[in-house]
Amino acid sequence: MKNRTITVFAPATVANVACGFDSLGFALNEPGDVIKLTRRDEPGIRITRITGDNGRLPLETDKNTAGVSVKALLEHTGEPCGFDIEVHKQMPLGSGLGSSSASTVGAVFGANLLLDKPLTREQLLPFALLGEKVACGAAHADNVAPSLLGGFQLIRSYDPLDVIEVPHPEGLHCTVLHPHIEVMTEDSRKILRQSVRLKDAIVQWSNFAGLVTGLITGNYPLISRSLNDIIFEPVRSLLIPGYDNVKIAAMDAGALGCSISGSGPSIFALSTSMAGARNVGDAMLASLKKTGIEGDVYVSPINKTGPRIVEEG
Amino acid sequence: MKNRTITVFAPATVANVACGFDSLGFALNEPGDVIKLTRRDEPGIRITRITGDNGRLPLETDKNTAGVSVKALLEHTGEPCGFDIEVHKQMPLGSGLGSSSASTVGAVFGANLLLDKPLTREQLLPFALLGEKVACGAAHADNVAPSLLGGFQLIRSYDPLDVIEVPHPEGLHCTVLHPHIEVMTEDSRKILRQSVRLKDAIVQWSNFAGLVTGLITGNYPLISRSLNDIIFEPVRSLLIPGYDNVKIAAMDAGALGCSISGSGPSIFALSTSMAGARNVGDAMLASLKKTGIEGDVYVSPINKTGPRIVEEG
């Protein structure tokens, strides 16, 4: 068999989604990572090139998210071939946008295609999670699942893994503001307490049930009222300078809701149209700049398909 | 205006619904309470008769759930009339089936009809909650709302009150087993800890989001997988002799799930048909009897309408 090459794009994701901590995530049309894979006849996985990471990501296969997950996939299929993998980061690391998930999802998605699709997307999930575990020390399926499957994905259970698509209204759009500061997922975890007050948990899960109901039934006012996080946002937002004002700016500009993306520092807002989401982005960025911090704004509908082929051959 | 009389039925309810503690409830077709109201020209609310309570409920208007809520409704409307109210309890007190809610819902529903419906059902909710507050010391909207409105009702927020109907599949049926023991709501609250582990809260709200998604999309396997309560059931079930075996019997008989109704001691199970729910009830009762305790079984589809008129004139 001749070498074959494929280039794929895998989307960034917003995890946690206010009241849906560790449980709900959704995919964006941009940003995302681009992964180029070349299938070789000889066995072995090599990470041949990484761009856009300022030299921070490991080239060793067993330490690289993409390398680990493709290696596991290859072992599973038993195919006697190998892969060269290029990882082109097109979004910031440690941004709260599921950067490592996008790389690992792109890698397993592309490798599966070059293996002539022995597995469905759903079946690829455990392999992508392996890569995420290497990168973060824990498998955060609320980033990996939406990056791989698109849409809103609910992680009902980790053990056994049970991932459910939550339908969402067509008009829903997302604005993401990435402030040019870095918050490591680990620090953002450390700041959280290991127990929560029962009364706060009740408020949180009532909002979560409201959010899911609003998404499925296309009830925007309900989505808006439910997009609250009374447990994590008050603590984690302390690590994001100007957060409160950015959120006020988003809401004043007409956002349905606004909260921290993943473990931050990116901030997401939901709107009912592309134009609305753009307005919200302008307002959020203007507010951030007042604190002397620059940022990038991404505006996109909810990504419905997950990764896609950029180039084949 | 001449006196007018109306007799109404208001349904029992299952609150908490496993992972939906303090947040989700649904209504049953039976059991329920029957309330007879007579409108008088002279002002004042009198509780003229209570049956089925073994003399335990207060006849004083200001201490009786029905009296308090109808009085508040009458004051709100400003109508210069009065009511005589008979409360016929047709379900056990302290059973975890929303007994006080049914009485108060029946009373405000009937009074509103005799006042020529100045308020919608939704508008009656705050008045019914007032009565519930008198009976329980706290307003448990997850019993009152489904009894008044029917179906599954999500209490997204108590302040401000925000009640959302969660659609459910047609085939869903409920079995309730009421063991002949009594657990006071207050005791059942006392046994709960005031904080929960974060990791448990995440499991709980992920199941809750799964349950709501399953209900709205009619996904029975998802409803089944989501009907878990890892926080409250392990503690509260200690107050219900034979609980674990009754639950196993329900599941073995094909129930989608089984958990404690409200604060107990009643146990509910969900099934996909009336015949299935009856089988489940037989199995639950047989299991309970092995512990030497008798019980009543109620089997019903989900009540969709809330209270109804039994007799007019």
Count Cα atoms within 13 angstroms, Cβ side, for B33. Answer: 34
Do A94 and A183 form a contact (C-beta atoms < 8 A)?
A: yes
Per 3-state DSSP, what percentage of chain B is helix, strand, and coil (rounded to 5)?
A: 40, 30, 30
Do A234 and A117 share a structural domain? no
pLDDT cut 70: percent of chain B above it: 98
Q: Which of A65, A175, A185, A272 is catalytic?
A: A185
Q: What is the reported pLDDT for A164? A: 98
**Would you call A132 a catalytic residue per the annotation?**
yes
Whole-number Å distance between alpha carbons of B74 and B63: 16
* CA nearest neighbour of A137 among A35, A206, A224, A68: A68
Q: Chain A residues with CB inside 8 Å of B19's CB?
A: 205
Do A179 and A57 share a structural domain? no
Q: Chain A residues with CB inside 8 Å of B145's CB?
A: none
Do A158 and A190 share a structural domain? no
Q: What is the reported pLDDT for B185? A: 66
Here the CATH number for the domain that contains residue A226 is: 3.30.70.890
Q: Which two tokens stand for residue B173?
A: 């049926």
- Give residue-wise pLDDT tens across range B245-271: 999 999 999 999 999 999 999 999 999
pTM (2 d.p.): 0.96
Do A260 and A146 share a structural domain? no
With cut-offs at 50, 70 and 90, classify the pLDDT of residue B2. Answer: low
Do A312 and A6 form a contact (C-beta atoms < 8 A)?
A: yes
3-state secondary structure of B222: helix
Here the CATH number for the domain that contains residue A124 is: 3.30.230.10
Do B162 and B59 share a structural domain? yes
Q: What is the reported pLDDT for A185? A: 66
Q: What ipTM score was computed for the predicted complex, to two decimals?
A: 0.95
Do B294 and B308 share a structural domain? no
Which of B195, B202, B209 faces A212 most closely, judged by CB atoms?
B209
Do B297 and B179 share a structural domain? yes
Do you know the residue count of chain A?
313
Do B145 and B81 share a structural domain? yes
**What is the CA B72 to chain-centroid distance, rounded?**
21
Question: Nearest CA to CA, how far is A33 from chain B (Å)?
Answer: 28
Q: Chain A residues with CB inside 8 Å of B203's CB?
A: 157
Nearest CA in chain B to A210: B156
A208 to B208: CB separation less than 8 angstroms, yes or no = yes
Do B24 and B149 form a contact (C-beta atoms < 8 A)?
A: no
Whole-number Å distance between alpha carbons of A6 and A36: 6
Residue B139 has pLDDT above 80, yes or no: no
Do A188 and A125 share a structural domain? no
User: The domain containing residue A217 runs over which residues?
Assistant: 173-301
Do A122 and A64 share a structural domain? yes
Do A15 and A162 share a structural domain? yes
Angle between helices B99-114 and B65-77 (to 10 degrees): 30
Structural domain total, chain B: 2
Whole-number Å distance between alpha carbons of A192 and A174: 26
- Give residue-wise pLDDT tens across range A256-292: 999 999 989 999 999 999 999 999 999 999 999 999 9
Q: Chain A residues with CB inside 8 Å of B218's CB?
A: none
Nearest CA in chain A to B232: A198
Do B199 and B77 share a structural domain? no
Answer whether the bond into residue A265 is a cis peptide, omega within 30°. Answer: yes
- Give residue-wise pLDDT tens across range B67-84: 999 999 999 999 999 999
3-state secondary structure of B272: coil
With cut-offs at 50, 70 and 90, classify the pLDDT of residue B204. Answer: very high
3-state secondary structure of A97: coil
Question: Nearest CA to CA, how far is A272 from chain B (Å)?
Answer: 21
Q: Which two tokens stand for residue B175?
A: 């079995």
Residues in chain A where the model's pLDDT stays below 70: 1-3, 135-136, 184-185
Whole-number Å distance between alpha carbons of B216 and A245: 36
3-state secondary structure of B45: strand
Look at A59 and B2; give whichever has higher pLDDT. Answer: A59
